[in-house]
Amino acid sequence: MASTMLSLPCTSSSASLSMHQLNKGKVKLGSSDSSICINNDRNSPFTKIKSFGRISMTVATNVSRFEGVTMAPPDPILGVSEAFKADTHEMKLNLGVGAYRTEELQPYVLKVVKKAENLMLERGENKEYLPIEGLAAFNKVTAELLFGTDNPVIQKQRVATVQGLSGTGSLRLAAALIERYFPGAKVLISSPTWGNHKNIFNDARVPWSEYRYYDPKTVGLDFEGMIADIKAAPEGSFVLLHGCAHNPTGIDPTPEQWKQIADVIQEKNHIPFFDVAYQGFASGSLDEDAASVRLFAARGIELLVAQSYSKNLGLYSERIGAMNIVCSSADAAARVKSQLKRIARPMYSNPPIHGARIVANVVGDPGLFSEWKAEMEMMAGRIKNVRQKLFDSLSAKDKSGKDWSFILKQIGMFSFTGLNKAQSDNMTNKWHVYMTKDGRISLAGLSLAKCEYLADAIFDSYHNVS
């Protein structure tokens, strides 16, 4: 019980106190122990006052109804940014959050996005509510971008597409659908994976387990372990796959390995569930980065795909993405879409319009679409350049025989350095390099000018911290 106590020395068996000061409380004098009990409600369970030889006054306040709510731990990625902001060191680097930066390490708004927004202003478009499933023009172009305009799944209307709150919200929609219509089905998640994947399925009460993916000995793909774990999973499991630029490792299966993964998933009657957060941003090619998804669709496999435009269009704060579910028939797709809408209605009612219009304008206009592809190639190219420079710097400094070529073999925004927690802590505490504790760094937050400095930090942490 939270309370405030005032104690006064007792000089006699009686005392005179102002009733106004006591907030019209009830006063009881006890001659035997010289006590005064002041209580606005003598029957209140929250206040009990007793004193021997002193006059005591207790003013009680109710305990919060939220007393049982514990403090949540800080987010492992967003917490890195907060620590980075508080650091005043001139060479500090924020390699935690996956957000593209210019060579000057400043946020970048794509030129094509500004043009699309200007078009919206010129048209004087309103801010009316969207339908539950989102902007129709967005849903059309985003499915075509993912599967290809001429893909049979598009032509036969076998794709249920619903605009979601970026990748996270789209994944959460699908998780709710799984919990409702596939009760007890397990989702297989790569080890390691993006930190929010497990949170999403936990929150939706969908059981999950991990399949082997990363091999620390080779700093590469544990393909045999991956295949073995997918084979061992209960038939009909959902297998969460990163369409391209695996987060956090940057390690992707080869085209031939993707075929073998598809073989096993078909054999076990599993349902592939793709997370596509980097289409076009990984390799610079929209088609190349969608090849894994299109491979499965071409086999006639029913599948789920979550999309995000945070990275490839730089629309981080617009929260624009989509959930696509490929079904065996147009009728099944219509029913699935109706249930996705039913789930979305009590969750957030309908999605925001601004980002959806940007995507619809850019992807739907041939001129803007060409400009976007050029800008994506530029962004992907800058990341490839810093990846090469970091490799060159480490190779020049390290004469121990350590092979750093895995940096070049990885793809996309991230590099999995292989540093452990203690070594990652040294990167931050000594070198002011902020990163996640699993050793992942975002190369999008690195400039060519700071590659040498980062190489020094990695070299020191790898060789001098056990």
User: What are the catalytic residues?
Assistant: 194, 275, 311
Q: Which of 283, 297, 308, 93 is nearest to 196 (CA)?
A: 308
Q: Which stretches within 238-353 are classed as H helix?
A: 255-267, 286-289, 291-298, 330-348
325 neighbors 174 (Cβ within 8 angstroms): yes
Token pair, residue 133, equals 């499933």
Residue 242: CB atoms within 10 Å: 26
CA 399 from centroid of its chain's CA atoms: 38
Give me the residue label for tokens 């992707």: 252
Distances from the Cα of 262 to the Cαs of 74, 185, 239, in angstroms? 37, 19, 11
Say if residue 41 is exposed, middle or buried (CB neighbours under 10 Å; 0-12, 13-18, 19+).
exposed
Say if residue 313 is exposed, middle or buried (CB neighbours under 10 Å; 0-12, 13-18, 19+).
buried
Q: How far apart are CA 328 and CA 107, in angstroms?
A: 42
Q: How far apart are CA 309 and CA 155, in angstroms?
A: 24
CA 395 from centroid of its chain's CA atoms: 33
Q: How far apart are CA 247 and CA 251, in angstroms?
A: 8
Residue 329, classed as helix, strand or coil, is: coil
Residue 375: CB atoms within 10 Å: 19
CA R_g for the chain: 30
Q: What are phi and psi of 402, to 5 degrees?
A: -60, 135
